Every structure is written in C-alpha cells, then in structure tokens.
Amino acid sequence: MKIWATHYAFRLQSPSVLLEHLRIHRCRYGMYFLDPDCHVYRDLIISQTPDEPWSSSHGDDSIQHGVVTVDGLVFENIRSTYNNLIPLTHYNASGSAESHFRNVKLVNWSGSNQRALINMYDDNSLKPTPKGVPMYFHNYFGPNRHAKFASTQAADLLGDGNTYREVPLLTGNRSRVAEVQDIEFPDLLDPVDDRPPTTVITRVSRRIAPGNKFLVRGTTSDNGSVARVIVNHREAKATANNFAEWEIMLDGVKPGETKLTAHAEDAAGNVEKRPHTWETR
C-alpha cells in the first residue's frame, strides 16, 4: 500500500490488525490516531512527513488499550517539526497495554538539537498517570539489550527497579530510557489462510478453424497467492499478476453445447468449492 501527498495518511482503530508493506510519503501526519489493540505492523517506510509521522494512541487523548508490535520501520528524509518521531502514550487504559518495536532505522533525520526519537507530547493538560504505557525497542543496544522507554509522568514505570536516564536524540524532556534484558517480542497474530479463491469466466471466444477451439478468459481473486486455475481439467495461463487475469485455449471441443467450468487453488491448499460454470451453444 502507498499513501502520499495527503493530510492524515493512515488512521486505524479496528482491533486485531496485520499491516504489511506500507509506504507513506510527503504527508503531514503518518500513522495517526491509532487505537492499537493486537496490532501487528511489518515493513513500514515513512518519508518526508514532518509534523507527526507517528502519533500517540488516540492522538492528543493519549490512551492505549492493547499491545502493538512494529517489526521493520524506516523514517526517511524527515525534518521534525515537533521534535519527536514516536510519542509515548500516556494512559494505560487496560493496565496491559505495551508497544514493541524492532528494526527501526533513521535515514537523514534532521531538526533541532532538542529533537528526540521517543518523547511525550508537550502538553501540560496530561497529568501524572498511575499506569503508564511502556515502549520497548528490541535489541537497540545489542543482542538481548533492549531499550525500555517511559514517560516522566509514569511513576509506576520509573519506579520499576530499572535505571532510567536521558540520552541525547533518543529521549526528550519528558521521556527516559533504561536498558533491560529478556523481554520477548510478542507474537500477537498467527493468521491462517482458510478461504479459497473466487474465479469468474469473463469471456469465451469460439474459433472454428482449425480444430474447433475455444479461447477462455477469466479472473481470479484471493487474499493470498493463487497456485493454479483449472478450466475443464486443464491449467490456465496467468496473463496478469496472481491470476488476476488468465486465459486458456481449449482445442478439440465437439460442436454443439459445451459446458465450461473453472476453479482455482491457492498456495495454502484451499480449493474453490463452487466453480464458475459457462454453457455455450
């Protein structure tokens, strides 16, 4: 998915979401007003999005209910307007909310010397919270040496026994970081592809000579990779990516009424149970 040249690029508030291969370019706000509850993000690139490339959960309300994991995040060519790339979330609504990041890269990040990768919103309306939302950067300091971030207003986190400190360009005036070990990167979602593809014959052209042939064209849709399309027990040829368009030449077809059936199978082994049928005369 690619999103570019808009104000709010991506706003997601549904639970249990797997998002992969997102590109956000030249927007004012990137991942905005999220409500992460069992969210899994992989392979994201956010470029030239200066104001708020990543927002606190629920934006200015700064409330998080669940767990989010981010594996593979690149910030590219960003000059920070508000001096932070990823704001901490203030209120832990469920008591078990956490944010986990891994493989985060900064490419040509610029701005004030006071800028920070992780900080809180500069908002005096956010009062000290009894339960903060921890944020982890896995393997940030080395193998099994993770960075744990906390808000300066989260007394429970600052008092958890770890040694929190300021690190220039990593923390800001309202955030601190501690080095921790033995923190597992959560495996939140393990989706299973159990839905078969859907196939439609879109066109049949009869070619009498030579050999009384039929040119059959169609389309197949699936939420994964399509392995093959079968038309009258023969495999069709893909003419577009993932069998979005396909065709097959059937020869030796007897004159008169002919019944064509087409179905597909995907890479997960799901077989279409209701083939599309086309009768010709």
Enumerate domains of the chain plus CATH numbers: 2-180 (no CATH), 198-280 (2.60.40.10)
- Classified as helix, coil or strand, 252 is coil
Q: Which residues pair with 221 in a beta bridge?
A: 198
Selection from 67, 137, 53 nearest residue 102 by Cα: 137
Extract the tokens encoding 229: 């399309």
* pLDDT tens per residue across span 120-146: 987 777 778 889 999 999 999 999 999
* pLDDT tens per residue across span 210-236: 667 889 999 999 999 999 999 999 999
Alpha helices (runs of H) in 140-231, residue ranges in sequence order:
155-158
Q: Tell me how far apart the terminal alpha carbons of the chain are, to the nearest angstrom.
A: 44
Is the pLDDT score of 90 beyond 60? yes
Extract the tokens encoding 67: 């767990």
Per-residue confidence (pLDDT) for residue 124, from 0 to 100 = 74
Is the pLDDT score of 253 beyond 80? no
pLDDT more than 70, % of the chain? 96
Residues whose CB is less than 8 angstroms from the CB of residue 233 and which lie 6 or more positions away in sequence, other chains included: none
Burial of 119 (0-12, 13-18, 19+ CB in 10 A): buried
The number of CA neighbours under 13 Å toward the Cβ of 257 is: 3
What is the pTM for the complete model shown? 0.79
Q: How far is the C-alpha of 169 from the C-alpha of 153, rounded, in Å?
A: 19
Sheet holding 17-25, edge to edge: 2-4, 17-25, 39-47, 67-79, 98-110, 135-142, 145-151, 175-180
